[in-house]
Structure 1
Amino acid sequence: MKLERILDKLGSIEKNSFIKIIDGIISKDPKNLKEINKILSSSDKGLKSVDSQNISRIFALTSDEFQKHIACEFQEISSQLDILIDIVIRDGNCIMKQDWFSRLYDTEIKNLKARIKNLNADFENDKSDLTDSRKRDYKIYKSCLYTAYQNDIENNRDAKITSDELSIILTLSKELGLSQEEVKLINYSIVPIKKADIQEVIKSLKNIGVIFYSNKDNTVYVADEMVRMLRKIRKKEVAEKFYRRTLKLLREPTINYIARDHNIDRKLSYSQKIEEIIKEGISFTNLLLNDIYRLESTLTEKKKTLNELCEKGLNISNLKGSTLDDKIESLIKHFENVERDETVGISLDGFDKLLMELNNSLPKLNKEIKSQFEFQDEFVLKAEFLLDYNIKPRDILDLIVKPDLTKFIKENGIKQRGDDILNILDHYKDVENLYLENFEHVAFRNLNKLKENGITVRESELGQKFEDLTKVIFKGMGFNVDDTFKNNLNTRKDMMDILLNLGNDEIIIVECKTSKERGYNKFSTVSRQLKSYQNLALKNNLRIVKILLIAPEFSDDFVTDCEMDTEMNLSLISASTLSNIYEAFKKSNYAEFPYVLFRDIVINEERILKALSK
């Protein structure tokens, strides 16, 4: 769930710790202070009185400093912060009831203790699956950690690992190629694990700004933006779902090689080994730099293998970068962009239909998804529920084994030639709703984003498509989009885009503009056009209640020119604002949108959303 939505759910006391940290960062002159002050200038009472949307923007502007603040907390090696962070960043754990979080924490501690016991036994057992070279790596790391922790006792001080010692230990673990889980197991074989009270755990995480806690419903919230930040701190370059998607493209011998190198049981099934590799926290970059290739592979062969993996397996063409490292970095950035993108790939209705039919064909799937993502709810195959956890249709389909996918495809009349998952997603597309979910991308004429989200359209068609979608939105809000009346009024010279007929000779004129450039700034051109429409309407004895201009966004100069105009009753609406108003209207109790709310120069989205929610 996005930070803005979480902040809207919480009271001021529940947001205090988070806001105090950002306040502290602002007081130390962060690098983006000018942009932050622009946002704060509209508020006389400081950060506490800023709305959720702008707090979210300020958090993005202070993300580097916030990340350093959290990283400092990891210097206390006995804090268990690594255990707790690894729980909250797992796919499916960003919203948890307190009792469920407590249960996950208990399970994690028990599993860790059992695995530490097994690891210690492997150290002593000559017949264990650990290779001699791996045993040597473990022993080197363990000996260094032991010395760093125990040398304080010898000097009559409390046992701890200083930040300098920790930086050396982290470098050592990286050079030895240890996974995060291997490091964690060895760490806690030296530093005893003490199970903390769950209230204290929540309080400590809340105080460092990592989580929010709602006292009203006893729920822990971790913002999507925070999850991404915590993953960076834990050196997990991609979300589990993207790691899984990549691993599933590898042949079983390659998976076995990776498993053997990181002490994972090779007797497990193919899918189980993949899940264990993900849990191990093995570096995604190292995996693609070294682990997936034959030992004798040349650099050219490695590049070719990675390109084929991306193009044929992940459907990513033209992976950027000349070196192997550059290509891997481009792939990681691609996954980051996919994760940040709020569009679903198919429409929300299509997602619900897909889940319903998956549940009919594969009755065990609900239980499997519940287990995979550690959900507390009993029935989880619901589109809105899954999207709150940033789990999209592709993420669900990636978890289904090949025989079950084949069965589902046959039972539901889905195309069988080609890629199974892409065929399923294509089958459940609802084109109009999919376009509406990409309304802002259409406005910005962003062909690449539209293509990524499953929409193929010519650039020359985008202007008309934007106008058509705007009509659909206004119809959905209860307006009479009167094309017949509009066509009768229009002349060869003056052709307005949309006319909303309010009855009694009253109308609203709507003009639609698309633009690739950030900030629509052609006021002089558009104002002449709109004034000619106004004159046309007045000649026909019509009362113009409002003129609305819809565009991707507006520059400051455009807004200023609009404010200075005294001849038109003009309001500006960005594409994202209109889309959000439409979504809020659908959930409201109104049968028709109260157009009196269109009274600002630049339509205030937050005010209208609040009005619709009453």
Structure 2
Amino acid sequence: MKLDKILDKLGSIEKNSFIKVIDLIISKNPKNGKEIDTILSSSDKGLKAVDNQNISKIFSLTSKEFQTHVKCEFQDITSQLDILIDIIIRDGNCIMKQDWFSRLYEAEIKHLESRIKTLNKDFESDKSDLSEIRKRDYRIYKSCLYVAYYNDIDNNRESKISSDELSILLTLSKQLGLSQEETKLINYSILPIKKLDIQDVIKSLKNIGVIFYSNKENTIYVADEMVRILRRVREKEVAEKFYRRTLKLLREPIINQIAKEHNIDRKLLYSDKIEEIIKEGVSFSNLLYSDIYKNGSTLTERKRTLNELCEKGLNIKNLKGSTLDEKIENLITHFDNVERDEKVGISVDGFDKLLTELNESLPKLNKEIKSQFQLQDEYVLKADFLLDYNIKPRDILDLISKEDLKKFILDNRIKQRGDDILNILEHYKDVENLYLENYENVAYRDLNTLKDNGITVKESELGLKFEELTRNIFEGLGFNVDEDFKKQLNTKKDMMDILLNLDNNEIIIVECKTSKEKGYNKFSSVSRQLKSYQNLALKNDLRIVKILLVAPEFSDDFVTDCEMDTEMNLSLVTASTLLNIHEAFKESKYEKFPYVLFRDIVLNEERILKALSK
């Protein structure tokens, strides 16, 4: 869930710890201080009085300083910050009830204690699978850590790892090729794990500013933007879902080679070995630099192998970079851009339809997804729910075995030639067009016709669905549908549906109305509403080029009242007319709809279509 969306859900007290951390960073003259001052200049009361969207922007501008702030917290090695951060950055753990977080924390402690016992036995046993070279690496790191921690006690000081010592230890672990899990196990073999009270854990994470906690809902929230920062702190270069997507392209002998290198049981199932590699925190870049190639591969052969992996497996054409390091860095950047992209890849409705049909074809999938992402709800195959966790259609399909994907494709008559996952995603893109084809039926709130046409929707959702489709149509006409600017202008009393930003302080206001009745006939109420929007815009020194009212149809009386109104530059457009304009525009020479054509009281469809065809 995005930071501004989380902030919208919380009260001022629940945001307080986070605001304090950001305020402290701002007081120390951060790199982007001027841009931050520009945002804060609109508020006399400082950061607390700034709206949530601008707080999100300020957080983005201080992200590097925030990362440094979190790294400093690692000097207190009794804080268990590595354990806790590794839990909250896992895919699916960005929204958690307190009791669920408590269970995950307890399970992690037990898992670590068990692994530490095994590691200590491996140190001592001659029959261990660990090679002598690996044992030597472990001993080197363990000895250095021991000295860094206990030299304070020898000098009658409080035991802690200084920032310099931490920097050296991190460099050492990297050079020895230790995974994060291996490092963690050695750390806690010297400093025994003490299970902390869950309330103290939540309080410490909240005070650092990395989580939000809703007292009302007993729920922990970790913003998507925060997850990316914490991942960098833990030197995890990509999200687990992208790591998994890459590993699944490798043959089992290569997976075994990686497992052997990092003390992972090679007798596990192929899919389980992949999950263990991810959990181990094996460096993604190190993996692509050396671990996935045959022994003795030349640099040229490695580059060729990586190019093939990207082109044929990940569908990334022409991975940039002349060196292997550059190619790996560009692949990591690609995954970062994909994660930041708010587009789902298919419509949300298409995602819902995909999930429904996956559940019908593969009834065990719900349980598997729930387990994979450690989700609490019983039924998780819901688009809006998964998107709050930043889980997209491709992420779900990546988890399904090839055999089950084949079955699903056959069950739903999806194209079989080519890449299975891309074929499925393409197949479910059509739902958005299905809704657009039924745009007028949505406007008329005609549930029966929608159902007959294969669309299942609640009546309570039709108003918002009509607004969403209208927004999509105006975007398709080349307009800047400015949601951010609209939110800045809207008040609790006056909330316009759609704002088209024409730049230079010029706007078009669009209001959407659905109606079961034939002939929309509520001019007095809608005119009051539109005049309040007009006043709101004028107060902000904006020029209103046009106000558009979109409805299924208008009565003669409504049109007459509109013609008599002298205060608003209002035009009426029926749903069918707007849809036909949209279709004609796609075939026209224009990149952006010429809004001067919005000049009639009731938009003349025939005249506009003729103008577009010229």
Measured against the shorter chain, the TM-score band is 0.7 to 0.9
Listed as ranges, the matches of 1:532-571 within 5 Å are 550-551=500-501, 554=503, 558-559=504-505, 562=506, 571=507
- Number of residue pairs matched? 490
For the residues of structure 1 that align with 2:320 and 2:435, how far apart are their CA atoms?
Answer: 28
Q: CA deviation at 1:229?
A: 0.3
Listed as ranges, the matches of 1:287-436 within 5 Å are 287-430=287-430, 432=432
Amino acid in structure 1 at the alignment position of 2:377: D
Listed as ranges, the matches of 1:70-469 within 5 Å are 70-430=70-430, 432=432
Corresponding residue for 2:16? 16
When the two structures are superposed, what TM-score results if normalisation uses the length of structure 1?
A: 0.75
Amino acid in structure 2 at the alignment position of 1:550: L
Q: CA deviation at 1:41?
A: 1.3
Query: Which residue, 462, 466, 472 being the options, matches 1:476?
Result: 466
Measured against aligned partners, the alpha-carbon deviations of 1:341-395 in whole angstroms (never above 9, x if no partner) come to 1111011111111111111111111111111111111111111100000000000
For the residues of structure 2 that align with 1:202 and 1:582, how far apart are their CA atoms?
Answer: 44
Amino acid in structure 1 at the alignment position of 2:413: G
Measured against aligned partners, the alpha-carbon deviations of 1:236-284 in whole angstroms (never above 9, x if no partner) come to 0000000000000111110000000000000001100000000000110
Corresponding residue for 1:6? 6
Change in 2 beyond 3 A, CA 1:263/1:58: same
Deviates more, 1:6-15 or 1:297-306: 297-306
Change in 2 beyond 3 A, CA 1:230/1:478: closer
Change in 2 beyond 3 A, CA 1:596/1:245: farther
For the residues of structure 2 that align with 1:511 and 1:602, how far apart are their CA atoms?
Answer: 27
SS in 2 for 1:13: helix
Q: Is the 8 A contact 2:350 2:431 kept in 1?
A: no
For the residues of structure 1 that align with 2:468 and 2:128, how far apart are their CA atoms?
Answer: 71
For the residues of structure 1 that align with 2:270 and 2:409, how far apart are their CA atoms?
Answer: 22
Corresponding residue for 1:50? 50
Q: CA deviation at 1:549?
A: 8.1
Q: CA deviation at 1:199?
A: 0.4
For the residues of structure 2 that align with 1:434 and 1:226, how far apart are their CA atoms?
Answer: 37
SS in 1 for 2:158: coil
Corresponding residue for 1:26? 26
SS in 1 for 2:30: coil
Q: Is the 8 A contact 1:370 1:376 kept in 2?
A: yes
Measured against aligned partners, the alpha-carbon deviations of 1:116-139 in whole angstroms (never above 9, x if no partner) come to 000001111111111111111111
SS in 1 for 2:250: coil
For the residues of structure 2 that align with 1:480 and 1:220, how far apart are their CA atoms?
Answer: 35
Q: CA deviation at 1:512?
A: 5.9
Q: Is the 8 A contact 1:477 1:592 kept in 2?
A: no
Measured against aligned partners, the alpha-carbon deviations of 1:170-208 in whole angstroms (never above 9, x if no partner) come to 111011000000000000000111111000000000001
For the residues of structure 2 that align with 1:123 and 1:318, how far apart are their CA atoms?
Answer: 45
For the residues of structure 2 that align with 1:157 and 1:55, how far apart are their CA atoms?
Answer: 40
Amino acid in structure 2 at the alignment position of 1:168: I
Corresponding residue for 2:553? none
Q: CA deviation at 1:28?
A: 1.3
For the residues of structure 2 that align with 1:317 and 1:403, how far apart are their CA atoms?
Answer: 27
Change in 2 beyond 3 A, CA 1:199/1:282: same
When the two structures are superposed, what TM-score results if normalisation uses the length of structure 2?
A: 0.75
SS in 2 for 1:415: coil
Q: CA RMSD in A?
A: 3.2
Measured against aligned partners, the alpha-carbon deviations of 1:468-519 in whole angstroms (never above 9, x if no partner) come to xxxx9999349999xxxxxxxxxxxxxxx99xxxxxxxxxxx996569xxxx
SS in 2 for 1:43: coil
Amino acid in structure 1 at the alignment position of 2:310: C
Unaligned runs of 5+ in 1: 437-471, 482-496, 499-509, 516-545, 563-570, 605-614
Change in 2 beyond 3 A, CA 1:549/1:162: closer
Change in 2 beyond 3 A, CA 1:597/1:256: farther
Percent identity for Structure 1 against Structure 2: 73
Q: Is the 8 A contact 1:512 1:550 kept in 2?
A: no
For the residues of structure 2 that align with 1:434 and 1:101, how far apart are their CA atoms?
Answer: 41
Amino acid in structure 2 at the alignment position of 1:93: N
For the residues of structure 2 that align with 1:59 and 1:391, how far apart are their CA atoms?
Answer: 23
Q: Is the 8 A contact 1:95 1:220 kept in 2?
A: yes
Q: CA deviation at 1:153?
A: 2.4
Amino acid in structure 1 at the alignment position of 2:118: N
Q: Is the 8 A contact 1:512 1:549 kept in 2?
A: no
Amino acid in structure 1 at the alignment position of 2:266: R
Q: CA deviation at 1:416?
A: 1.3
Amino acid in structure 2 at the alignment position of 1:115: R
For the residues of structure 1 that align with 2:434 and 2:53, how far apart are their CA atoms?
Answer: 25
